[in-house]
Structure 1
Amino acid sequence: MQPTRDPRATLPDLIEVLLNKGVHLNLDLIISVSDIPLIGINLRATIAGIETMIEYGMMQQWDRDTREWVQRAVRTHLPLAADEEILAKMAGGHYQDNFYRTWRPGSAYLTTQRLIIHRRDPAETLWQTRLDAIASVSALREPSIGGEERTRILVGLNDGTEAILSALEPDRLISLVQARLDRADGGSSSAPEATTAVDRPLREGRMWFLETLSSGSTWRGGQAQLSNTELTWRSPMDGRARVRISPEQLKAMHREEHSNPTDDGQALILETGDSTITLATDDAGAWSRMLDDWRTGALDDRAHVPLEEPTRPDSNRAERAEEGAAS
């Protein structure tokens, strides 16, 4: 076996393989000095992300013990029913709109029975609702003070009221809540189908983003996804999308010669109202044609658009190294 090297493969690519697919090592190693074998190593090891290990039936006892420990720790400050289990927890907040308007930070909890915004110290439940009282849950895009678009969570209740929540991973929390609602409805609700029709993915794949720093410009590798409503790009190190563009924001787009980490010598130049975004991919031509149709609304007439280059999205990964070289 001769070693091979892909110059575009970076440390985050290796970490992605280890976390999502895993590696099994089965080797015998002999260390010799002057042709005299001195040390023998017999190694059998499996290395993978925790989610992958559990999926293949490994470390399940550790998973059960950890879940039980978390449940006991949370119950010390958050009252839970005897049969209530925590499904997800992340930093979050609730927008209070009564005699004064303000965000009240805490943690967002999704349990088998409720959606809760709770503060640990001092212990206080800022907002909560039973899952069976939720009529709808959707993403709410709003600009921040610095001009960056943030994603909030709009929760509509059966009594006609609404609540606005924040979360560290809003899209993930929305999908988890929606999955619980679908499960309660037996998968017969029409609301999830409508949401899927609006936000269905059209294309996704590996893409590089040219980030401008004070010391120069650096290509960063990540994942791009195009849906009916927005184009997003996110690196493995980003908590939320670094690039988020709607069709209305994309004013112009063209391709130009630009050195980049891919085999395609051209880069995509996207012009919005207040910025210029440079992206690179191995199939810039295909992306360019689809983005042009997407911007002009030509994709709206297509009933079904196949998802291209499927990849498994990142979820709560550890810190990953910066990639790309300054250009």
Structure 2
Amino acid sequence: MAERPPVKPTRDPRVTLDDLVEVLLNKGAVLHLDLIISVADIPLIGVSLRAAIAGMETMLEHGMMRQWDEHTRAWVEGSAAREGLDLREGERHVAQMHGGHLLEEGVYTAWRPGTVFLTDRRLVVLRRDPREIMWQSDLSAIREVRPETERSAGGAPRTRVRLTLDGGTTALLSAADPRALCDLLDRALPGVLGGELLPGAAQQVLAEGHLWYQEPRREGPLWRGGTGKLTPGGLVWKSPLDARPALALPADDLLGVRQTSGHSPGGDGTVLELRTHSLGEVRLAATDTAHWYEKLRELTDRGDEPADAAGATALPAPAR
């Protein structure tokens, strides 16, 4: 049998920490390591390592850490009782996180902070002190769940959870991790999750996939890997390390796009420069740059932006 060549480490400059975390959460990795440390050809220390690293869903899917998961869920259910949520007979706690409920009474509206509890029967927003259930609904009464992105008074994007209930009534909740809450509700009520609400048109997906965003930082810009989603309503980008999207740009905030030469983790030496009202210039990179450029151009082209010789869309002149 031919001897296998030794395994050599490789380095891909396009891979970021966000990419690694995404792979670990979605697929996982198995490590097998046998190591002997010798001094003067005398073996002194032996290391035998067998490890599996993956997201909890992947672990449970392959039958690992189930006992730990059951014990943790039991502890959390006890914690829910200590927080003041009285579970009904046979009701099981699923998750909880900081959040709130938007109270709407006539012209008066106000956010009421508390803790969002999800059980296998109800969705509840509870205030601890003084103890009060500020809002609740049976899961059977929920007809649609939609993440809804809005801008706060300071201009930062905030994602809320819009619920449509029996009779057409709606409720708006905040949550520490709104995406996770939407996913949990989608698992409990398959088909209830709708597309993201952004100012603009219906949510047909124009482009979706891996996208790098050059995030401005005090010590210098940093490329970060994540998932981008482009709809007629706008562009949303989120890293797997973030609880909220770092970019949530409505369509009317986008002015134009062009391709320029430059170093990027996409590997093709091309960077997408997106001009926006609120953030100025936003730099993006992708492995399929041409596809993203075409779709962004379709969305931002107002019919009066001439193309330059390189085929890039000329950015419209800033308003005077």
TM exceeding 0.5: yes
Amino acid at match of 1:97: E
C-alpha change, 1:37 and 1:117, in structure 2 (3 Å) is same
Tell me which moved more, 18-27 or 143-152. 18-27
Structure-to-structure mapping, 1:165-244, within 5 angstroms: 165-182=173-190, 199=203, 201-244=205-248
- Give the Cα separation in 2 of the matches to 1:25 and 1:136: 42
- Give the Cα separation in 1 of the matches to 2:266 and 2:194: 37
* 8 Å CA contact 2:21, 2:240 repeated in 1: no
C-alpha change, 1:238 and 1:195, in structure 2 (3 Å) is closer
Secondary structure of the corresponding residue to residue 292 of structure 1 = helix
Structure-to-structure mapping, 1:86-97, within 5 angstroms: 86-97=93-104
Secondary structure of the corresponding residue to residue 251 of structure 1 = strand
Identity of aligned residues (%): 44
Alignment match, 1:278: 283
Offset at residue 294 of structure 1 (A): 4.1
C-alpha change, 1:158 and 1:9, in structure 2 (3 Å) is closer
Decide which of 110, 113, 138 is 1:130's aligned counterpart. Answer: 138
Amino acid at match of 1:243: L
Alignment match, 1:13: 19
Unaligned stretches of 5+ residues in structure 1: 298-327
Tell me which moved more, 54-63 or 88-97. 88-97
Alignment match, 1:289: 294
Secondary structure of the corresponding residue to residue 43 of structure 1 = strand
* 1:120 is the counterpart of 2:128: yes
C-alpha change, 1:293 and 1:83, in structure 2 (3 Å) is same
C-alpha change, 1:17 and 1:194, in structure 2 (3 Å) is closer
Amino acid at match of 2:288: D
Amino acid at match of 1:251: L
* 8 Å CA contact 2:146, 2:193 repeated in 1: no
What's the RMSD between the two structures over aligned residues? 2.8
* 1:59 is the counterpart of 2:65: yes
C-alpha change, 1:278 and 1:43, in structure 2 (3 Å) is closer
- Give the Cα separation in 1 of the matches to 2:93 and 2:188: 13
Decide which of 110, 121, 128 is 1:102's aligned counterpart. Answer: 110
Tell me which moved more, 219-228 or 25-34. 219-228
Secondary structure of the corresponding residue to residue 130 of structure 2 = coil
Tell me which moved more, 125-134 or 1-10. 1-10
* 8 Å CA contact 1:27, 1:44 repeated in 2: yes
C-alpha change, 1:139 and 1:200, in structure 2 (3 Å) is same
Aligned residues: 289
- Give the Cα separation in 1 of the matches to 2:261 and 2:195: 41
Offset at residue 64 of structure 1 (A): 0.7
Offset at residue 194 of structure 1 (A): 9.0
Decide which of 80, 90, 112 is 2:87's aligned counterpart. Answer: 80
C-alpha change, 1:101 and 1:195, in structure 2 (3 Å) is closer
- Give the Cα separation in 1 of the matches to 2:111 and 2:124: 15
Secondary structure of the corresponding residue to residue 63 of structure 1 = helix
* 8 Å CA contact 1:88, 1:110 repeated in 2: yes
Decide which of 29, 46, 59 is 1:23's aligned counterpart. Answer: 29
Offset at residue 109 of structure 1 (A): 1.6
* 8 Å CA contact 1:264, 1:283 repeated in 2: no
- Give the Cα separation in 2 of the matches to 1:211 and 1:15: 18
